């Protein structure tokens, strides 16, 4: 019609509005305790993966990309920890390269996290496995809610923001990419890793009674 009648019109298609992503609410202390108790009872790879995610806000894709050879060494260290983004392993941002001390369900994570990482790497959608388990156990949450829960726990524990940023991979991290390549022995003897482990114990102190039963 515009061409036929030489109308001075301009037409613009209306772009459909993208739905806003649903906010993942953090789990409260009571739900966290139930979650930890439930996962320890499950005692399998998926349980180990979620328990690890709760302790540092990892994404399933990050667990899938773990260096499993290094993982065996760092989990055997004291304090046990996991390196995310060492060498050429990709992360969402440079700050996401980090060290995550493990303070809850240590033996389960030592035994099962490597297998969980291998399974996640082979899965078409590693997040779906986590979400399915949470739903099956009666939790109205997804794996991404573990990251929000970790942040809420950090704020409640009033821990040094630089230390919490270093564990979760937020802006302000004190862990450098160079440090991540020290190797398991060098990292285990690092004062920074020891400080991170102390911060973790403070952040998750409300869950120790459940994890130890």
**From the first residue on, what is the mean pLDDT of each consecutive set of 10 residues in the chain (213 residues)?**
75 70 80 97 97 94 93 93 79 74 96 96 92 95 94 94 90 70 72 92 95 65
Query: What pLDDT does residue 176 have?
Result: 66
Tokens of 23: 């906010």
pTM of the model: 0.84
Query: What pLDDT does residue 177 have?
Result: 64
Query: What pLDDT does residue 19 have?
Result: 59
Query: What pLDDT does residue 75 have?
Result: 95
Q: List for the chain the helix, strand, coil content (%; round to 5).
A: 60, 5, 40
Query: What pLDDT does residue 18 have?
Result: 67
Query: What pLDDT does residue 88 have?
Result: 66
Query: What pLDDT does residue 183 have?
Result: 67
By CB neighbour count within 10 A (0-12 exposed, 13-18 middle, 19+ buried), where does 130 fall? buried
Query: What pLDDT does residue 137 have?
Result: 96
Query: What pLDDT does residue 22 have?
Result: 58
């Amino acid at each position: 019609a515009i061409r036929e009648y030489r109308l001075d019109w301009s037409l613009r298609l209306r772009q459909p509005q993208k739905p806003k992503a649903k906010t993942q609410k953090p789990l409260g202390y009571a739900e966290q305790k139930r979650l930890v108790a439930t996962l320890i009872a499950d005692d399998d790879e998926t349980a180990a993966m979620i328990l690890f995610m709760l302790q540092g806000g990892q994404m399933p894709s990050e667990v899938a990309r773990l260096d499993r050879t290094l993982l065996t060494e760092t989990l055997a260290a004291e304090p046990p920890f996991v390196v995310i983004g060492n060498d050429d392993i990709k992360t969402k941002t440079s700050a996401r390269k980090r060290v995550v001390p493990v303070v809850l369900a240590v033996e389960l994570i030592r035994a099962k996290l490597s297998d969980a990482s291998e399974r996640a790497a082979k899965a078409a959608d590693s997040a779906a496995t986590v979400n399915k388990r949470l739903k099956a156990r009666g939790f109205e949450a997804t794996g991404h809610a573990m990251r929000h829960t970790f942040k809420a726990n950090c704020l409640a524990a009033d821990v040094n923001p630089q230390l919490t940023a270093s564990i979760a991979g937020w802006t302000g991290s004190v862990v450098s990419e160079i440090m991540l390549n020290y190797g398991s022995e060098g990292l285990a003897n690092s004062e920074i890793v020891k400080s991170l482990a102390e911060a973790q114990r403070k952040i998750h102190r409300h869950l120790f009674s459940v994890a130890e039963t």
